[in-house]
Chain A
C-alpha cells in the first residue's frame, strides 16, 4: 500500500512539471493592408483644406475668435467662434503626424510626426510652412500608429507604425498579407 502511494505521488509530482499550455506560436499573417510609400517629401508640408470630417479629435487651443482642434495624425480643424452661440467649422490645416499646437502672432507651431513645424497663418486660407526642424519632438512617434489615410474597408488588419518610414511618406494602402499588429474596426 505504502509503495503504491509513494509511486502515485512520484507520478503526480512528475506530471506537475509538464507544461499543459499550448506551445507558443508567433502571430500569423492574415490578409490586410500595408502602406504604400512615396519619396516626395513635399507631401509632408502643411496645406489648407476646407472643413473636413473629424476622425481622431484631440487637443484644443483658442486664439482671438478662433478655436482649433487637432485631428490626431492628420491636422488641425479651425472653428470660428465669433458668435459663441453658433460656432462653425471654417477650415482644416492638413499636417501629417500632428498632435500638438501653439500659436503666437501670425505663426502656428505644431508637430508633424517628430518634426517641429512653423507655419505662417497670416492668411488662414493659405497657410505656409516656413520652417521644419527634424526630430525636435520625439513624442510625435505616438501618432504614427493612426492611419492617416483611411483604409479602403472596415473590419480589417493593417500594418501600423510605419506612416512615415525612413523619410518616406505614405500615399495609400495595398492589399497584402500582414502581421496581425493593428485592427481597423
Chain B
C-alpha cells in the first residue's frame, strides 16, 4: 500500500511543531557575506536609504568625476609632451638640403659679387622649401667673395649640417692677404739663429 500511514501523519504533525533554533544573526551574517561577494550593493546594511537613493547618485557622480579628471590629466600630459618635442622639419618636409659645390670657373660670376648671397628666382638653382636655418643663411654671414657657389638642386639623399659643407669651398688663396710689414727683401730666414762653424770652439 502506497498510502500514508497513521504514524506518518503523526510524524508530519510532530515535525511541524519543531522549535526553531535562534540562529538568525549568525545565518544572516553568512548570507550577507555571500551577497557582498556575489552581488555587492552600493550601500551598507546600516544605510537607511536604498541603492536608488541620492547617495547612490552621489557615488556614481564621484566615480564619473574621478574618471573624467584622470582622462583630462592624461590628455593634458600627452599634449604637453607632444609640444615639448622639437620639430624636425626636414624629416617631414621634402628636399630641404642643398648641395653646394664650388665652381672654379670664375667667369660666370664676377669677383666681388657673391652670387650665392643673392636671392635667386630661378627655380632650377635653388630648392624651395628651405627652412630658416639652412645653408643659404649661413653662407650670407661668411665673407666669401672670391669663389662663387652654385646651389645644386638635385634631390638630396642625406642630411648634413650646412657648416661642414661650407668649409669645403674655402681656399687659401681666397683669404685676404695681410699687408706686408717691415723692410722688403728681409725674410724670416734672415732672423734665424743657427750655429756656424766659426762659433764652435
Partners in one complex: no
